[in-house]
Amino acid sequence: MGFTMAKKVAVVTGSAGGLGRGIAERLAKDGFAIVIHDINEELLNQTETEFKDNGIEVTSFVGDVSKREDQFALVQHAVDTFGRLDVFVNNAGIEAATPLLEIDENELQRLFSINAFGMLFGTQAAATQFIKQGGGGKIISASSIAGHESYAMLGTYSATKHVVRSFTQTASKELAKYKINVNAYAPGVAKTKMWDRLDAEMVKHDPTLKPGDAFAKYTADISLGRYEMPDDVANLVSFLASPDSDYITGQTILVDGGMVYR
């Protein structure tokens, strides 16, 4: 890719581990200087050290995506460190597995503040910087198969991921005049710590399930016959961050190995 500067710069939220870390590693391989971010400072510092040991041009930022000022401070840190911003990945998110009749205000507040408000605040912060730079830029957010279809036990999580899809469409319409592309990726079932927690929560609410059963049940429905790896998601994000996706905006693209067909 012919960069106008020596480097393009990408921010990935929630990237100390899991899918976010995989995305950050891939974008580094694609030639981006990387800003990794997480609320877990200890894990973030460890990841930053490992990235530096692997020759990645990286800086880190500890922040809470649910706080609007933190998201703007994250973008400012990227610009202060590397001089500009080109790609912002709203990856941070949390899960919960609760029967619908037991969902309470605390769960709603927690998941919406991180998954939905956090995605919006990150989009606002990134777009503000892109406009200041004269336009252009990519905003890429984490939705989910649960943003296409709502699942039993995952009511709040599914609702927040539908919100991501909705804000992606709205942002793409409003920001198109600035040549800013706004898209989302919708992963399926990956063997991450998030899924370990979901599996455990589902077992807690259903005594007929043994540990691992929920994960096995969901992965059994994947057409390609295997669960998702971080690279599967990172490959799509890499494409959405590249000039090859310049004519795609407002889309939430499934990367689920063949689970959701609509």
For residue 57, give the CATH number of its domain: 3.40.50.720
Domain membership flag for residue 239:
yes
Task: Look at residue 240 in the predicted model and tell me its pLDDT.
Answer: 98
- DSSP line for 110-164: HHIIIIIIHHHHHHHHHHHHHHHTTS--EEEEE--GGGTS--TTBHHHHHHHHHH
What are the Cα distances from residue 72, in Å, to 13, 63, 107, 134, 181?
Answer: 12, 10, 25, 18, 19
Query: Is 217 assigned a catalytic role?
Result: no
Domain membership flag for residue 167:
yes
Average pLDDT on 41-68 reads 98
Neighbours of 148 (CB within 10 A): 19
Catalytic residue among 161, 185, 218, 227: 161
Q: How far apart are CA 192 and CA 212, in angstroms?
A: 13
- Start-to-end CA distance of the chain, whole Å, equals 34
Task: Look at residue 175 in the predicted model and tell me its pLDDT.
Answer: 98
| H or E segment to which residue 76 belongs | helix 68-82
pLDDT tens digits, residue range 228-255? 999 999 999 999 999 999 999 999 999 9
- Exposed/middle/buried for 136, CB within 10 Å: 0-12, 13-18, 19+? middle
pLDDT band of residue 39 (cuts 50, 70, 90) is very high
Domain membership flag for residue 261:
no
Domain membership flag for residue 169:
yes
Domain membership flag for residue 221:
no
Catalytic residue among 8, 138, 157, 185: 157
Query: Is 157 assigned a catalytic role?
Result: yes
pTM here? 0.94
Domain membership flag for residue 18:
yes
Domain membership flag for residue 91:
yes
> What residue numbers bound the domain in which 26 lies?
9-190+229-255
pLDDT band of residue 61 (cuts 50, 70, 90) is very high
Domain membership flag for residue 152:
yes
- Tally the domains of the chain: 1
